[in-house]
Amino acid sequence: MKNILISDANHGGLTLLEEYSKYTKNNLFFYDTYNKLNLDMKEFYKKKYNVEFLSLDDIRKNEDKYITISPIHMKPLFRCDYTHHEFTGYLIKKHEECYGWNFKIIEITGVKGKTTTANLIMEVLKNKNLLVLTSHNLLYKSCEREIVLDKTLSITPASIIHALNRAKDMNLLSSIDYCIFEVSLGITTNTDIGILTNILEDYPIADNSQSASSAKKSVFKSKKVICDKTTLKKYYPHMDKNIITVSLDDKTADIYTTEIDYNIKSTSIRIKYCDYEFRVNCFALCDFYINNILYAVCVGLLLDIPIKTITSNIKDTLPIEGRGSIKYIEDKIVLEDINPGLNTTSISKCISNLERYSNNYVLIVGGDYGITCEEIDEEKLSKYISTIDSPIVLTGDVGYNLLKKLDKDYEFYHELTDAFNYLLKKDYDVIQIIYRSEYARNITYLPN
């Protein structure tokens, strides 16, 4: 028998342990990376799964004795044989064999646009039965009904196992046509369609031993890959198998736009794909959002959904609240980008987008920490902010740290609500909120 060591109770390790225990007689070991579990909890899991908990010293004394499974972003305390992403892929296959389902799986990773892309794919496939996991929730959706199965899951790869088991418990597995899974820092192995939305900015992970781009390279293990053309050229120039490239305006991409007529209510987009050229009319305030639309359209085409059905399904799609959405409050337009992926590129793109609609705008920039394993480069962001003339109000813990790095004085409010109320009294036409958080955390800023 083999000795299988799984790590990290914070990021899905216990889910992987539980699932693997159903299929194996191997010896099971666990390393609680962040000391999340107390003695009673460890005793509970020990009895339930016949698992032995190890200290770091225990592991290092006999490291070669174990087959190790760790998160891709974990500090390399010891050798990693398989990542959580890879092991989740293995467990998905075991789950399929055990329960006999045969639906296709679509996984989405990237720095920005994962949740929105998942939502748009859900609309393209709205005539099918779908299991959808995003940072917002776990959802089963069919033509007849929509059921929220869980609101507590993260987008770690292990959450996919939880999603499949939740569907099993609800007797839904035989009804599902497609699964759409948003995944952080790469995808699981051998998925049917893997989408890499972008790598707007690369950043270090695993205590600087790896980068986000190296982690997300796992997307190329998919049977079919949809990838941003710029990202492919910059980070993965030698990858060329089963890849469909997407671009806003690069005519060497497989799918791109030939015309965009931006409108704050409905944008008209002309799309070129192989020998087809067709028009989509839907909500889209910026080029980020249009890229996400292209990914969703591409998925529909790969799955042989008729173009007429794709354009019809997507035309009335509204953005997820907080993810590139719009509100009208008093006499002002409020644009929301409340998202874990706050970085320099996203802010610069927001500014260029704003100038399409008004020159009289202001930005609220800030947010929270501890939202995601994806890092924020405060040095780079503060340097960029210091170079622009656009009016900015800083808020939240992120805003406070940026304020300390900036030479120029900026208005600062610890609470987003206070920053927003302050700007409501000013004469700006457009308020753009760029806030690093999850909208699902009950982000509120509207005045009472």
Query: Percent of the chain having pLDDT more than 90?
Result: 71
Query: Does residue 313 carry a pLDDT above 90?
Result: yes
Which pair of structure tokens corresponds to residue 265?
Answer: 């209510």
Higher pLDDT, 138 or 316: 138
Average pLDDT on 200-209 reads 89
pLDDT of residue 439: 46
**b/e string for 255-285 if b means 16 or more Cβ within 10 A?**
bbbeeeebeeeebebebbbeeeeeebebbbb
Q: Which two tokens stand for residue 168?
A: 């099993």
What average pLDDT score do residues 106-113 get?
94
Domains of the chain, with CATH numbers? 3-80 (3.40.50), 91-314 (3.40.1190.10), 323-441 (3.90.190.20)
CA 6 from centre of chain: 24
- Between residues 232 and 315, the one the model is more confident about: 232
Mean pLDDT of the chain: 91
Q: What share of the chain is helix, strand, coil (3-state, %, to 5)?
A: 35, 25, 40
pLDDT at 291 over 50: yes
Beta strand ranges found along 154-297 (DSSP E): 178-182, 193-196, 204-205, 210-211, 224-228, 243-247, 255-261, 267-273, 276-282
Task: Tell me what pLDDT residue 447 has.
Answer: 56
Lowest average pLDDT, out of 11-20, 227-236, 404-413, goes to: 404-413
Over residues 235-262, the pLDDT tens digits come to: 999 999 999 999 999 999 999 999 999 9
Cα 18 to Cα 71: distance, rounded to the nearest angstrom:
16
Residue 446 has pLDDT above 70, yes or no: no
To the nearest whole percent, how much of the chain has pLDDT over 70? 95
Residues 321-328: contacts with CB under 8 Å, at least 24 apart? 321/439, 322/439, 322/443, 323/115, 323/116, 323/119, 323/439, 324/116, 324/285, 324/286, 324/288, 324/289, 326/264, 326/285
Give 87 or 438, the one with higher predicted confidence.
87
Per residue in 44-67, pLDDT tens?
999 999 999 999 999 999 999 999
